Amino acid sequence: MPEIACPQKCTFCDQRQISGQSVFPDNNEIIQKIESHLASYTRSDREVEIAFFGGTFTGLPLKRQENYLSIASKYLINGLIHGIRISTRPDYIDTENLQLLKHFGVTTIELGAQSLDDEVLIRCERGHTVMQVEKAATLIKQYGFNLGLQMMIGLPDDSFEKSIATAKKIILLGAKETRIYPCLVIKNTILAQEFETGIFKPLNLENAVSLSAELWLLFEKAGVKVIRLGLHRSEELNEGAMIAGPYHISFKELVMSHIWKNVFLTGIADLHSESIHIQVHPKELNFAVGYLAGNKAMLMKSFQKVRFSVDDSLVGRDFHYTLS
């Protein structure tokens, strides 16, 4: 969806540049996109959702909401998808919105909270308060929706401590899911002006990765699923709209590699031997080896030979090793 309903112009935001969407898709376009994706899915156990992103969905006129949701709900009723999700602002949630969404079978509502620190929200001109996020989250859960709360790191007046506090509040509010987006400097935004005049300095990539790793572990321990780290490749800020900031096409891989690096630093980095054989779960292999084999290179400072293999019986980031 294009960002037309949003009442605010946040200092960091130019949604059209990010999404590349400037007009509302018509019904045929939506149906064709859904049918195309469904036709490409070959796995019978795949869980499929239709999601409306990019704009403040509940800020759209009710007739437009009803139109789009009626299209999606037919696929839900026919069992071709498992859920419908929408994203919106915390201050655009009320009982009327929720009753409409419930009627059409929406299962998940994601709120763009960005920060749960009022000073940061004011500085970014978000136009809502922490209390409004809390009220919206409570209503969403009362109506039986899955709650997602998105956050951004590296915002103006933000800090490592404030980001950790935001994550802890997201957990306390009962979110099932979250997304972690590093703040980027986009052309034609207030933040771009602040960057050019030296008022704002974005996080560098190293610090963004390190902070995101801490947040991931915090959410993981609490059972909150992180469904996105960094921007989608398809949201690559069309036509070079990004001026500065910690963007990386493999941001998640960098974060997960960083987590494994710390696992090795506390587990085996002090050992010394001619060679080491490390076994990890198959899903963790690439992250354990590290982005561009960075973790393997680190371990080769202590071992002449480093070999990785997989073991299905291992759980999470548990690992076995043998020395020789």
Using 50, 70 and 90 to split pLDDT, how confident is the model at 321?
very high
Beta strands in 41-158 (DSSP E): 49-52, 83-88, 108-114, 146-153
Using 50, 70 and 90 to split pLDDT, how confident is the model at 11?
low
Is the pLDDT assigned to residue 16 strictly greater than 90? Answer: no
Strand 303-310 to 273-280 pairing = parallel
Better pLDDT: 95 or 124 = 95
Is the pLDDT assigned to residue 239 strictly greater than 90? Answer: no
Using 50, 70 and 90 to split pLDDT, how confident is the model at 319?
very high
pLDDT value for 15: 56
d(C-alpha 209, C-alpha 256), whole Å: 9
Is the pLDDT assigned to residue 261 strictly greater than 80? Answer: yes
Q: For residues 113 and 78, is the Cβ–Cβ distance under 8 A? A: no
Is the pLDDT assigned to residue 91 strictly greater than 60? Answer: yes
Which pair of tokens denotes residue 139? 């209503």
Using 50, 70 and 90 to split pLDDT, how confident is the model at 212?
very high
Percent of the chain with pLDDT over 90: 75
pLDDT value for 133: 96
CATH assignment of 15-247, given 3.20.20.70, 3.30.30.60, 3.90.79.10, 3.40.50.720? 3.20.20.70
pLDDT value for 6: 63
Which pair of tokens denotes residue 114? 């960005």
Residue 271's alpha-carbon distances to 171, 275, 323, in angstroms, are 37, 10, 9
pLDDT value for 5: 57
pLDDT value for 23: 77
CB-based contacts of 240: which residues, under 8 Å, 6+ apart?
Answer: none
- 153-175: per-residue pLDDT in tens? 999 999 999 999 999 999 999 99
pLDDT value for 66: 95
d(C-alpha 8, C-alpha 122), whole Å: 12
